[in-house]
Amino acid sequence: MGISMRPLTLILLLATGACSMTPKLNLPPAPVADSYPGADTAATAEALPAWRGMFGDPRLQRLIALSLDANRDLRIAALNAEAARAQRTVQRAQSLPSINAEGGYSRQRQPAGATGAAVGGTSGNGATGIEFGQFTAQAALTSFEIDLFGRLRALNEAAFHRWLSSVEARHAVRLNVIGTVVDAYLNERLAEEQLSLTRSTLADWETSLDISRRLKAAGQASGVDLAQAEGLVRQAQADLAQRERELAQASNALTLAVGAPLPGDLPPPISLMDQPIRTELNAGTPSDLLIHRPDIAQAEQELRAANADVGAARAAFFPRISLTAAFGFASRAFEGLFQGANRSWSYSPAISVPVFRGGELRGNLDIAKLRTSTAVATYEKTIQTAFREVADGLAARATYATQLTELRAVVTQAQRRASLAQLSYSAGMSSRLELLDAQRATYAAQQAALVVRRDELASAAALYRALGGDTGQNTDTP
C-alpha cells in the first residue's frame, strides 16, 4: 500500500508549494494635505475620549447606552458582520479536504451467462446465477481541489477581508448611532427650551397687552401702542404653535434614534448653555484618520478583498487538479469486515483545463480589475470626505465660541435695554412702543443664542465623529 500511495503523497506536497496569482497591493497615498487648514501642527496628539468622557450629561449617556442596545441599524450591522464571518468559514472550508465516513450493505444477483460460470445460487424463477451480498465501510475524500495556483487561497483571503470590512462597518454604524442620538437630543433640548422661552415671553406680552387695553380705554394710550402690543402677542402665539410642533417632532426623532420608547426614569435634563459636552478636541494629523476612522478602514478592507478577487480570477485560467480517494473495508460477511485481507482503497486524481469558455474567464478578470480600481477610488474618496469633515469641524470650533460670546453679550445688552425702557416708561419719559420693541429684541436675541449654542454642541459632536471617536473597542460595545 505504501508504494501505491506515493502519487497521493506527491500531489499533497505540490499543494503545499502552491503559487499565488494575487497582485501585490500598495495602498495609494492619502490624497489630502499633510495638515488641516489653520490647524496647529505643533499640537501634541492625544487619544480621543470614549463617548462617556465626551458627553457628560447623565441623561444623554443613558440614551446613548439604550441606543447601543436597541438601535436597529446597529443590530443589522452586527448581523451582517456575523454573516460575513460565517461566509468566511464556508470559504475557508473549501480549501480543506472533506472526509466522509460511509458504511453500507448491498445485495445483487448476476446471471450465469454474465459471469461465465454455471454455479451459484438459484433465483426465484429457477435460473442459475450468482447471488451475493457485500458489507462496506470506508473513509472517503471527495473532489478535493489541489490549490496549485492559489485560486482557493485568493477566495479565502477575499472572504477574510470582507469579514474585516463588515466589522469596521459595524464600528462605523455604532459611531453614527452615537452621533445621531446626540444630534436628536440637542434638537429636543433646543425645542423644549425655545418652547419654555416662548411661553414665558407670551405671558409677559399678554400682560402688556392687558395694560395697553386699559390705558387705551382710559385715554392714556394711543391706538398705535395697542396695535403694537397685539401684534407681539399674535407673533408669540404663532411661535408657540411652531415650538410645540418642533418639540413633538424632535421627541419623535429622538425615539427613532434610540430605537426604543424613552424610559420614564431618565435623569433630569441639563440646559443647552450648561451642557458638559467637550468642545475642544485635538484633531492630530490627517494620517491619524487612517487609523481611527472606521469607514476608511472599511474601504481599505474592501480594496484588499477586491485585489484578492483579481488573484482568484487569474488562477481560473490555469488547470484545476482535484482528488477523490477512499480507504476502507469490503466483505461478504459482516463478521470479517475489518480484517486486514478485506482492506480496500482507491484514489482518482483529475485535472480540468479550460479550453474554450467564450471569453468568460477574461471577462471575469476584467471585472475584478475594474472593481479593484473602483475600490481604490472609493478608498481615496473616503479619505477626502473624512478630511473635509474634520476641516469643517475645526473651522466651526474656531468660530462658534466667538459667535456665542457675542450673542450672549447681545442678550445681556437687550435685557439691560428692556429694564431701562421699563423704568423710563414707568417714569413717563418714553412711550410704550419703545418698551415693547426692547422686549421683542430681547426675545429674538435669546432665541438666537439658543440656536447657536445647539449648533456649537452639535459641531463638537460632529468633529468627534469625524475624528473616528468611539470605534466600539471598549466595554460599552453591545
| Residue numbers of the domain that contains 442 | 19-95+148-318+360-466
Q: Has residue 339 been placed in a domain?
A: no
Does residue 282 lie within any of the structural domains?
Answer: yes
pTM for the whole structure? 0.82
| pLDDT tens for each residue of 3-36 | 444 554 555 555 555 577 888 999 999 999 988 8
Does some domain include residue 131? Answer: no
Q: Report how far residue 227's alpha carbon sits from residue 69's, in angstroms, rounded to the nearest whole number.
A: 55
In a domain, 141, yes or no: no
pLDDT attached to residue 1: 41
Please report the pLDDT score of residue 44 as a whole number. 57
Looking at residue 198, which CATH number applies to its domain? 1.20.1600.10
**Does residue 475 lie in a domain region?**
no
pLDDT of residue 117: 53
**Cβ-based burial of 143 (10 A; exposed 0-12, middle 13-18, buried ≥19):** exposed
**Which stretches in the chain have pLDDT values below 50?**
1-5, 8, 118-126, 473-478
**Interval 445-455: pLDDT, tens:** 999 999 999 99
Distance CA 48, CA 466 (A): 11
Evaluate whether residue 445 is within a structural domain. Answer: yes
**342 in any annotated domain:** no
By the 8 A CB rule, do 460 and 397 touch? Answer: yes
Number of domains in the chain: 1
Q: In Å, how far are 274, 375, 377, 430 from 300, measured between CA atoms?
A: 40, 8, 11, 70
Report the alpha-carbon distance of residue 20 to residue 147 in Å, rounded: 10
- Residue 19: which region, alpha, beta or left (left: phi > 0; alpha: psi -120 to 50)? beta
Contacts 24+ apart (CB under 8 A), 229-238: 229/205, 229/432, 229/436, 232/205, 232/208, 232/436, 232/439, 232/440, 233/202, 233/205, 233/206, 233/209, 236/198, 236/201, 236/202, 236/205, 236/443, 237/202
Indicate whether 251 belongs to any domain. Answer: yes
Q: Report the pLDDT value the prediction gives residue 116, as an integer from 0 to 100.
A: 58
> What pLDDT, on a 0 to 100 scale, did the predictor assign at position 474?
44
